[in-house]
Amino acid sequence: MTETWALAALWLGLALVATLFSIWLRIATALSEIVVGTVAQLFIGASIGAALLQTDASWIKFLSGTGAIVLTFLAGAELDPAVFRVKWKEASAVGLVGFSAPFLGCAALAYYVLHWNLQASWLAGVALSTTSVAVVYAVMLEFGLNKTDYGKTVLAACFINDLVTVLALGLLFAPFTFKTLLFVVGSVAAFAVLPWLTPRFFKRYGGRPSELEAKYLLFCLFGLGALAGWSGSEAVLPAYVIGMVLAGTVGKDHALIRRLRTLTFGLLTPFYFIRAGSLVSVPALVGAPMVFLILLAGKMAAKFVGVYPVTKLYKSPPKEAMYTTMLMSTGLTFGTISSLYGLSHGIIDQTEYSFLVAAVIGSAVVPTLIANAFFLPRHLLPRDPEIPAGPALAPQASESKP
Amino acid sequence: MTSKILLAYDGSEPADKAYGFALDMAKHYGAKLLVLAVARPPDLPEDVETEAILENAEAHYQELFALMRKRAEVQGLSPDFRVVVGHPAEQIIYHAEKEGVDHIVLGHRGKSFFERWRLGSVSKQVINYAHCAVTVVR
């Protein structure tokens, strides 16, 4: 076991470094972990040997895969069922447009401009069609729009967008055999039973130090994940839907969600994101930077086409509309999950994977930087500080030492 | 005449000093006190993590507010406590205008060069943009 402990220490050491960078730079830890994984593989690979990180060790793949599944479950559990019930019609329309514009646009770009094969192009479309519910939620809170019709519709639309993304990932590349049918039937039955069974089961046996709730949820996620994998689909598909159907019950149990987050962020997702980063080939990116830029520009342009008109339809002021549109272009979790699925199933090669992950990272960084630099609604900052204010207007500033 | 004070609170030691100052001031003028804490999402955010950060910040501030409420009650005051989301300076200024505040109090934080370069100084931004008097407590 000595080698395993040493390897685990190396991975968690990298996770620790990534977390420190995320604190210093005020960026998401996931982003930092991907970049640290890429840089570590590059330098460790060049100086000591590419095999040192052992990204294909079975236990690392297990922890990494579990990280993706639990993270996806938590993303699904963020759904607010009350909002969704009220706004599902509008949200479905907006979410479908928010998905299909980048999906079709980026797939076409990959196929016709980059000359990727058809399967790889569809995967590029899926990986670049995602959005991030919590990021948009934070924006809505910032503007106080979360309680408005517009805010509720956009938030529910983000869920539809991501749901269609995981459906596309889970079903687009499935072989559609008898196994697929069994998977669909089994999943639908589980999705129908779980919202009824789970709260009753937790009420009777939960709330003890034995953490029955976590074991039960992991059992469901692994069970349906195994069924998905067996049928040739993807385990994150049932995980996201389980999260959604349990959002009204498990999702409301903040203490349980917090404990799951501790498990997820403390152990699982570092393995997932560092592994995702370590599989990126920097030489491939440096060799053809235009490919990355084309994919990134494609995603941003397609999201703009899909989302901006909707914000205008709701008469959102121009800068707020643009800010929302920009931040709906982020989507690191599902983007990397889709890319890694493509790589591990031989749909894309490592070079295409590298371009996709770089574009996904770029889609988290570039729109946010542009949004913050140019489109942050300045109504919160009403005065130009450069204009010298007269005595009546000048704020009185004083410093006091109690 | 000061009738409404906004204290920008971030849970730090200087913010605690500023709270003491704001309580004294509110008592002296018979003014209402609004304590505002800002939960800030990461500048480059990610999905579940952002949700976790916001919830964590809310829970953290609510714990602190419970203690602060007791401290105010000793002085016969009952401030209004709120947690909002966004960029600190913008939220402070926005809520100060919206609530018709006529004095903003905040603590001075000695940030490292790196933090100043990345984040800028909240107190400096508030002084530059605020519509009313601002006191930075050291």
Highest average pLDDT, of A329-333, A372-376, B31-35, B108-112, comes from B31-35
Tell me, what's the pLDDT at A378? 52
Taking the CA of residue B13 and the nearest CA in chain A, the distance in Å comes to: 13
Residue A74 with chain B: CB contacts under 8 Å:
48, 51
User: Which CATH number does the domain housing residue B85 bear?
Assistant: 3.40.50.620
**Which range is least confidently modeled, A97-111, A319-333, B58-72?**
A319-333
Look at residue B108 and tell me whether its pLDDT is greater than 80.
no
Tell me what the mean pLDDT of segment A168-181 comes to. 83
Look at residue B14 and tell me whether its pLDDT is greater than 70.
yes
Q: A385 and chain B: CB distance < 8 Å anywhere?
A: yes
Would you call B42 and A27 a contact, using CB atoms and an 8 Å cutoff? yes
Q: For chain A, how long is the longest CA-to-CA vector?
A: 80
Please, what sign has the CA dihedral across residues A156, A158, A159, A165?
positive
Amino acid identity of A338?
S
Residue A253 with chain B: CB contacts under 8 Å:
none
Tell me, what's the pLDDT at A253? 83
Residue A376 with chain B: CB contacts under 8 Å:
87, 90
Residue B117 with chain A: CB contacts under 8 Å:
none
Q: What confidence category does residue A399 fall into, taking pLDDT thresholds of 50, 70 and 90? A: very low
DSSP notation for A290-347: HHHHHHHHHHHHHHHHHHHHHHHHTT--HHHHHHHHHHTT--HHHHHHHHHHHHHTTS
Q: B85 and chain A: CB distance < 8 Å anywhere?
A: yes
Would you call B47 and A332 a contact, using CB atoms and an 8 Å cutoff? yes
**Number of neighbours of residue A290 by Cβ within 10 angstroms:** 9
Tell me, what's the pLDDT at A373? 65
Tell me, what's the pLDDT at B54? 83
Tell me, what's the pLDDT at A108? 92
pLDDT over 70, % of chain A: 90
CB A377 within 8 A of CB A314: no
User: Mean pLDDT in chain A?
Assistant: 82
Tell me, what's the pLDDT at B50? 79
Residues 6+ apart with CB under 8 A from B120: B89
Q: What confidence category does residue A172 fall into, taking pLDDT thresholds of 50, 70 and 90? A: confident
Taking the CA of residue A346 and the nearest CA in chain B, the distance in Å comes to: 27
Tell me, what's the pLDDT at A354? 92
Taking the CA of residue B51 and the nearest CA in chain A, the distance in Å comes to: 5
Rounded CA separation B104/B109 (Å): 16
Residue B55 with chain A: CB contacts under 8 Å:
254, 258
Which chain A residue has the Cα nearest residue B133? A396
Those of residues 303-342 in A touching chain B at CB distance below 8 A are 327, 330-333
Tell me, what's the pLDDT at A190? 93
- Phi and psi torsions of A192, nearest 5°: -80, -40
Strands B80-85 and B133-137: unpaired
Would you call A382 and B44 a contact, using CB atoms and an 8 Å cutoff? no
Taking the CA of residue B50 and the nearest CA in chain A, the distance in Å comes to: 6
Which chain A residue has the Cα nearest residue B125? A385
pLDDT in tens, A265-279: 889 999 999 998 888
Q: How many domains does chain B have?
A: 1
Q: Which has the higher per-residue pLDDT, A229 or A368?
A: A229
SS3 A90: helix
Tell me, what's the pLDDT at A59? 92
Tell me what the mean pLDDT of segment A128-136 comes to. 79
Tell me, what's the pLDDT at B128? 82
Tell me, what's the pLDDT at A377? 52
pLDDT in tens, A24-57: 887 888 888 989 998 988 887 777 766 777 888 8
Taking the CA of residue A343 and the nearest CA in chain B, the distance in Å comes to: 22
Q: If you count residue pairs, one on A and one on B, with CB atoms under 8 Å apart, how many are there?
A: 153
Tell me, what's the pLDDT at A372? 65
Taking the CA of residue A278 and the nearest CA in chain B, the distance in Å comes to: 19
User: Mean pLDDT in chain B?
Assistant: 83
A337's tokens: 């999950």
Look at residue A213 and tell me whether its pLDDT is greater than 50.
yes
pLDDT in tens, A356-398: 999 988 887 777 777 666 655 554 454 444 433 333 333 344 4
Those of residues 189-228 in A touching chain B at CB distance below 8 A are none
pLDDT in tens, B57-92: 888 899 999 999 998 888 888 899 999 888 888 889
Of B45, B119, B137, the CB nearest to A402: B137
CB B131 within 8 A of CB B96: yes
Residues 6+ apart with CB under 8 A from A349: A343
Q: Which domain holds residue B106?
A: 4-137
Which chain B residue has the Cα nearest residue A360? B46
Which chain B residue has the Cα nearest residue A334? B47
Look at residue A135 and tell me whether its pLDDT is greater than 90.
no
Residue from A263, A234, A245, A241 nearest A337 by CA: A234
Would you call B44 and A396 a contact, using CB atoms and an 8 Å cutoff? no
Of B47, B87, B90, the CB nearest to A135: B47
Those of residues 90-119 in B touching chain A at CB distance below 8 A are 90-91, 93-94, 97, 108, 114, 118-119
Rounded CA separation A311/A93 (Å): 13
Q: Which has the higher per-residue pLDDT, A190 or B111?
A: A190
